[in-house]
Structure 1
Amino acid sequence: MVPEREGNRERVPTGATAATRHRTPRLDQPRPRRPRYLPEWDPEAFGRLSEKIARFLGTGRFLVWMTVVIILWVLWNVAAPAGLRFDQYPFIFLTLMLSLQASYAAPLILLAQNRQDDRDRVNLEQDRKQNERSIADTEYLTREIAALRMGLGEVATRDWIRSELQDAMKDLEDRHDGHHEHVVFPAERSPGRDVEDR
């Protein structure tokens, strides 16, 4: 059963099943994987390996071993019997091996440097965010301390209360002393005054 076209739309005849419909790519499903002809590798594992090689190439141990290998290579091809020599005097094969090593070492070192740059960039971004958070926290604490100082300006402190109590005690003592001077108790009054009061 072939679907009929009307205008730009495709009209599916009634009674058509999923098996008889024209297969079109569905957008709600992932595409099937295409076959790869190149070998696949894990970029992270390859990057870690390149960093290890680059670190080894930058050590004194590598220089010592390379020097020992070159000396043995030259001595063997100079002092060994003619039938056992594999690289004659201009040492073309040695030059080729050193060039091959340099051609592989340079990209590996660059790859390791790129990975280190990426790590440094991430660390710098994290440091920048941490600094922004620290600045925001410092500003918040500064505002809180300023608010506390303003609030403490209106709160009675211990020294102020002590001084106010001392002033109040002094006022009470002064009033009490003055009261004793002017008040005469009834037992101490003269009898003539008592008669006048009547």
Structure 2
Amino acid sequence: MAPERESARREAGRDLGRDRMPAGATATTRPRARLDQPRPRRPRILPEWDPEAFGKLSERIARFIGTGRFLVWMTVVIVVWLLWNVSAPAPLRFDEYPFIFLTLMLSLQASYAAPLILLAQNRQDDRDRVNLEQDRKQNERSIADTEYLTREIAALRIGLGEVATRDWIRSELQDMVRDLQDGHPDGQRVFPAERSGARDVDDR
């Protein structure tokens, strides 16, 4: 009886689990993140900008700040500011002595100018680093080409040292002719002297 009760209990548990599971829900239908597809972009609260465009703009501002034109315009603005707030009628003055608003404006300008100049310097340092890396690679290629050409020239010199020159061949032939003439039994010359001023008719 005990085995029958145990089997009946198992069947009742399976039926209860089937009743709790929704229709059509299996292990294969669970939502899974697919690895062959990119994830959807999450909404960003902060605004997006192009780092390259922002870097170029910062370089332009930094270049303009470092010019004499900026210093002249800044001096003109400050002088006009001071003269207006000193000599203008009291109701029209917007920054009376001790010119606190002017001080705040100059501080704000300095607080923005310093990071822009640092950003421009960092971009220039990155460009210099890339240029130095390219110059180093170019120097390495030039050194390798120079070493290759040096080895080729040395091989050519060694090869030319083993090539038979015309003078060497002529001297060898003269030695052979001399040996043949010395060893001829009749004492005659093997190669008779050419007749000067006469043409060889047989060679025609």
TM range (shorter): 0.7 to 0.9
SS of residue paired to 1:133: helix
Gap runs ≥5 in structure 2: 1-22, 190-204
Matched to 2:171, the amino acid is E
1:141 aligned residue (149, 165, 169): 149
Change (3 A) 1:92 1:158: farther
State the partner residue of 1:61: 69
Distance in 2 between residues matched to 1:159 and 1:94, nearest whole Å: 95
| Alpha-carbon separation, structure 2, partners of 1:99 and 1:158 | 89
Deviations 1:124-179 (A, max 9, x none): 11011111111111111111111101000011335545x638957x96xx98xx85
Give the match for residue 37 of structure 1: 45
User: Hey, what's the Cα distance between the residues in 2 that align with 1:160 and 1:102?
Assistant: 85
Q: Kindly provide the amino acid, as one letter, of the partner of residue 57 in structure 1.
A: I
Which residue does the alignment assign to 1:98?
Answer: 106
Distance in 2 of aligned mates of 1:93 and 1:126: 50
2:131 is the counterpart of 1:123: yes
Quote the offset at 1:25 in angstroms.
Answer: 1.1
Residue correspondence of structure 1 range 183-198 to structure 2 within 5 A: none
Counting aligned pairs with the same residue, the percent is 79
RMSD: 2.4
Give the aligned residue type for 1:58: G
Between the aligned partners of 1:58 and 1:166, the Cα distance in structure 2 is 83
Offset, 1:2: 4.9
Quick one: which of 87, 91, 95 aligns to 1:87? Answer: 95
2:54 aligned residue: 46
Residues 65-102 of structure 1 deviation map (CA, whole Å, 9 limit, x = unaligned): 10111001101111111111110010111100100000
What letter is aligned with 2:132? L
Q: CA 1:160/1:60 → structure 2, altered by over 3 Å: closer, same or farther?
A: farther
Q: Which residue of 2 aligns with 1:192?
A: none
Q: TM-score, normalised by structure 1?
A: 0.74
The unaligned stretches of length 5 or more in structure 1 are: 5-9, 13-20, 181-198
